[in-house]
Amino acid sequence: MSKIRVGTVALVGRPNVGKSTLLNALLGERIAIVSHHPQTTRDRILGVLTQKDAQYVFIDTPGMHAAKTKLGARMNHEARQAAREANVVVFVTSVGVEPVPTVGRFDASLLEQLKVANVPVVLAINKIDRATNKEALFAVLEAYSKAFDFAALVPISAKKQNGLDRVLLEVKAHLPEDELLYEADTLTDRPMRFLVAEFVREQILRATREEVPHGVAVVVDRFDESGKIPKIELSVHVDREGHKKILVGKQGSVLKEIGSKARARVESLMGRQVHLALWVRVTPNWYESDRGLMEMGYIGETDGSKDSR
Ligand SMILES: Nc1nc2c(ncn2[C@@H]2O[C@H](COP(=O)(O)OP(=O)(O)OP(=O)(O)O)[C@@H](O)[C@H]2O)c(=O)[nH]1
């Protein structure tokens, strides 16, 4: 097989800057979950994009942030790890309606961490579609280029799919020459049951907005493909009784909507009809204990102690 540019690319940035939207736009498929809530992403998602002359293996890192809970510490750890392992980092930041020509405190501290990682970093300034004052973007670019020695600086809109080819081009320039890591038609290495749980979690975050925060975990209890129509059963663990009430809604209306929207996404990805059943269970403080995190699949048996810092 002839050699092309191949390597891993970590998407790093504060919560809510649009990393998952960017990943989905680059892949042309919605794998990562997107919501208005910060810190939607909890796991690293491996998405693979294969083009004629390059294969990009993307890691979608959870937004790095000050750790308040064990789950937070876990996310920080994953993000740093991803940056260390990657051939190239795409550092995503975003601008508002009126772009501010300074590097925020959060971004500055993340960039400090990246200096240590010593990998090429491409800056993607996202959400430029929101900026009414486009001129102000130049000052933003200048501020960032003073703060860090970026391999390239690219203004983008993940939502409107602007600037994405430029990002890929700049990333490709720093990927090593190698043979394909994955078959050309691979989209993700994540098992379908993981994606199904993520799709349900996405719909929960969308349906409940601020009322049910991040104390929610989705676990697949049964994934049975033996029949004509696959049967998937999931438990939704919430922190307290009040959250269960909100999630279920009047006569089950909210849960029904979550289930049917998630099912539609699963069916579209699997290309076939599925049965999907959801149960809501109250499991207080699951995210504050190693055991809880382990049971929900956020940490493995061996790394529990490492992340209890
Ligand atoms: N206007 C605009 N909104 C965007 C753009 N990209 C993402 N968004 C929105 O920003 C919000 C956060 O997007 P996500 O992709 O979930 O952000 P994230 O960085 O993955 O967030 P975490 O999972 O918290 O790390 C969503 O409401 C997106 O629709 C963009 O280019 N323009």
Query: Looking at residue 227, which CATH number applies to its domain?
Result: 3.30.300.20
Tell me which residue range forms the domain holding 32. 4-178
Residue pair 107/93 in contact (Cβ under 8 Å)? The answer is: yes
Residue 185 placed within a domain: no
CATH number at residue 131: 3.40.50.300
Q: Which of 12, 17, 154 most suits a substitution to test ligand 1, by most atoms within 8 Å of the C-beta?
A: 17
Q: Work out the average pLDDT over 108-127.
A: 87
Task: Mark whether 171 and 202 lie in a shared domain.
Answer: no
Residue 222 placed within a domain: yes
- Ligand 1 center from residue 5 Cα (angstroms): 28
Q: Is 45 annotated as a binding residue?
A: no
Q: What is the pLDDT of residue 116?
A: 77
Residue 307 placed within a domain: no
| Least confident span in 72-86, 122-136, 190-204 | 72-86
Task: Mark whether 104 and 253 lie in a shared domain.
Answer: no
Q: Is 14 annotated as a binding residue?
A: yes
Residue 114 placed within a domain: yes
Task: Mark whether 255 and 214 lie in a shared domain.
Answer: yes
Residue pair 215/205 in contact (Cβ under 8 Å)? The answer is: no
For the chain, give the mean pLDDT: 80
Exposure string of 35-74, with b = 16+ CB inside 10 Å and e = fewer, is bebebbbbbbbbbbbbeeebbbbbbbbbbbbeeeebbbbb
Boundary residue ending a domain (126, 145, 178): 178
Q: Which of 19, 26, 34 most suits a substitution to test ligand 1, by most atoms within 8 Å of the C-beta?
A: 34
Which string of DSSP letters, residue by residue, matches 99-111? --SS--HHHHHHH
The residues pairing with 60 across neighbouring beta strands, listed in sequence order, are: 11, 45
Count structural domains, the chain. 2
Task: Mark whether 81 and 164 lie in a shared domain.
Answer: yes
Q: Which residue CA neighbors atom 7 of ligand 1 most closely? A: 18
Q: Is 129 annotated as a binding residue?
A: yes
Both tokens of 283, joined, read 């499991």
Secondary structure (3-state) at 275: strand
Q: Residue 28: pLDDT band by 50, 70, 90 thresholds? A: confident
Task: Mark whether 123 and 248 lie in a shared domain.
Answer: no
Judged against a pLDDT cut of 70, whether residue 145 lies above it is answered with yes
Query: Quick check: CB of 17 below 6 Å from ligand 1?
Result: yes
Q: Above 0.95 for ipTM, yes or no?
A: yes
Task: Mark whether 135 and 256 lie in a shared domain.
Answer: no
Task: Mark whether 84 and 161 lie in a shared domain.
Answer: yes
Task: Mark whether 174 and 241 lie in a shared domain.
Answer: no
Q: What is the pLDDT of residue 301?
A: 37
Judged against a pLDDT cut of 80, whether residue 304 lies above it is answered with no
Q: CA-CA distance, 293 to 7, in Å (whole number)?
A: 30
Residue 28 placed within a domain: yes
- Ligand 1 center from residue 65 Cα (angstroms): 16
pLDDT digits (tens, 9 = 90+) for 61-92: 654 444 455 555 555 565 566 677 789 999 99
What is residue 233's DSSP assignment?
Answer: E
Both tokens of 69, joined, read 């809970």
Both tokens of 60, joined, read 């979608």
